Structure 1
């Protein structure tokens, strides 16, 4: 039976690009859910229920009474009224509803592709990895939320960083597939893969530290730049504290490391630009990455100086997507293989 491969490629491109945009929206909504402290407003996973929001007072009172049982309400939001609760509830509800839609939008087209285009020239089962990772992301999302329901006033910043990192990994994987399917031209003169991977690790480390900082509300302290209230190192910890067991739970140290990693990253990006010029590569291939880095640095500083205003903090988080995807283009063009 003859099946038109062109139709498969056309539908696949549309699906991947739309899914890519949906994941960006998910990251944005998830970030705002975190920034508005809304993530613990729904205290049950509700894997197959909770599709509709509360429709009457009894249902609203039930959700509110469940929220009153957790430490965040008892220690931070005690006295919150029902109308105030509805605001944070709808942020988390929107995040979960969008997650359900993304799951369906991933699985249904994959199922149709498997039925209709299995025997086309370009068909591949590799795209099922996207669905697997999105399902895993759902489990990790609940694993994160559960950490703030019993003993803690908030979710674990470690689990928060895993949740964000996996979302960005899924986004990058989809973007790599998009570059593949559009047959983006590769570099003729290759750069050092070890050096490129080193910079990628620095970017990943910076994103993880940013997630730690968000989870610890660490942006609310040391709201000055380039100094930290007059010094290079935070004055509320001793230098020896940087190597103790509480390193990754100390907001002051995490903010210091986040700043220092940014400086280190900028240094190696300057070297990367030098290699582009030395190897006579088209400078357009790195200019978007340079712009992304500069915008991200600017947004980071503005977020800090503003005392973490939600609009700037949200843009700063989305800026990490711009940085990652612009760098993925460089990695892709330097690679010899397709996924």
Structure 2
């Protein structure tokens, strides 16, 4: 009678501590992908708070106790009275009453609550994976750094909001808005790249092939242009430039607006002049789309690319078309809340697809 074979071991548990098995790779990368999805939600909620003027409705920063919303009528009245002291209320929302204040308050509260929830979603599983020895020490340190950066992002958010409390202001400073958005996208990109590397640790292409190096170079160029386009979009949002010149492709009948260079020194136009800010965003978006087209033209005709690289290139083509169409739609409709929020969020989606392309083309 043949001897009974022992049951298969659970490789995720029997592997040496700090050594990631295939099962643990899938589990950890899935957790990080979920975090990235939550970050996309955070960017979407942030777009809604910006477009509805909700960001200044909470005038204090309480990282711990702020998780509890107002629980009494007296507390609502206190917060509303505090909001009535800033210029935004008198110039934009005067007379809308406590009910109107509650609507914008909840949008900002959800934005901050979502950030706290993301912090717990990162920290608690990180502690569990570390104590169980399911991730390497280097990965644990990297993910803990991400947690610290997430807390720093909250501080940057308050730094941005505080700029809207000035006596002569009804909105946050565009530079601080761009800083807050950039920090969120950097954290998103870092977590996403880490998740890709855990899920697919081995490159599937032949990195020495010259034609693949050409595709990789074009992809890096497209990524750089996309990042510049997103920054320009941040200034377009911060200066409210999207509410002007709501036609496409011409701006007030001109390809280049006549008052593009009205400020001195010239570089000031790129950040303050609404005509120049919107034109730069249009120009960079178009250059990004054309460069992505070149990536597809060269990449899909290149032999030696793996299946993941080919699929990511096709996905990139669709993503850039959708984002460009969203941008034009948002402009022509004069930036409704839904379109502005979707356009802002899909910029991060496009960045994620671009990172997938770069990761699938990476060197060993």
Provide TM-score, normalisation by structure 2. 0.85
Cα RMSD of the aligned pairs, angstroms, is 2.3
**Higher alpha-carbon deviation: 92-101 or 181-190:** 181-190
Q: Contact (CA 8 Å) 1:3, 1:119: kept in 2 or not?
A: no
Counterparts of 1:22-37 in structure 2 under 5 Å?
Answer: 22-37=38-53
- Segments of 5+ residues of structure 2 without an aligned counterpart are 1-12
Structure 1 residue 268: deviation in Å?
A: 2.0
Q: Contact (CA 8 Å) 1:16, 1:178: kept in 2 or not?
A: yes
Q: Contact (CA 8 Å) 2:29, 2:196: kept in 1 or not?
A: no
- The equivalent of 2:221 in structure 1 is 198
CA distance in 2, matches of 1:237, 1:271: 29
Indicate whether 1:265 and 2:293 are aligned: no
Quick one: structure 1 residues 21 and 277, their matched pair in 2 at CA, closer, same or farther if it must change by over 3 Å? closer
Quick one: structure 1 residues 36 and 70, their matched pair in 2 at CA, closer, same or farther if it must change by over 3 Å? same
Q: Contact (CA 8 Å) 1:42, 1:67: kept in 2 or not?
A: yes
Q: Contact (CA 8 Å) 2:30, 2:195: kept in 1 or not?
A: no
Given candidates 175, 180, 183, the residue that maps to 1:163 is 180
Indicate whether 1:287 and 2:314 are aligned: yes
Indicate whether 1:117 and 2:109 are aligned: no
CA distance in 2, matches of 1:239, 1:150: 27
Q: Contact (CA 8 Å) 2:49, 2:107: kept in 1 or not?
A: yes
Partner SS, residue 312 of structure 1: helix
CA distance in 1, matches of 2:172, 2:191: 28
Structure 1 residue 191: deviation in Å?
A: 2.3
Counterparts of 1:1-339 in structure 2 under 5 Å?
Answer: 3-4=14-15, 5-6=20-21, 8-117=24-133, 124-151=140-167, 152-183=169-200, 185-188=203-206, 189=209, 190-192=212-214, 193-238=216-261, 243-280=266-303, 281=305, 283-337=310-364
CA distance in 2, matches of 1:19, 1:116: 20
* Bigger Cα Rg: 2
Q: Contact (CA 8 Å) 1:233, 1:256: kept in 2 or not?
A: yes
Provide TM-score, normalisation by structure 1. 0.91
* Cα shift readout 1:274-328 (whole Å, capped 9, x = no counterpart): 3214533464331111111111110101100001111111111121122111110
Quick one: structure 1 residues 106 and 124, their matched pair in 2 at CA, closer, same or farther if it must change by over 3 Å? closer
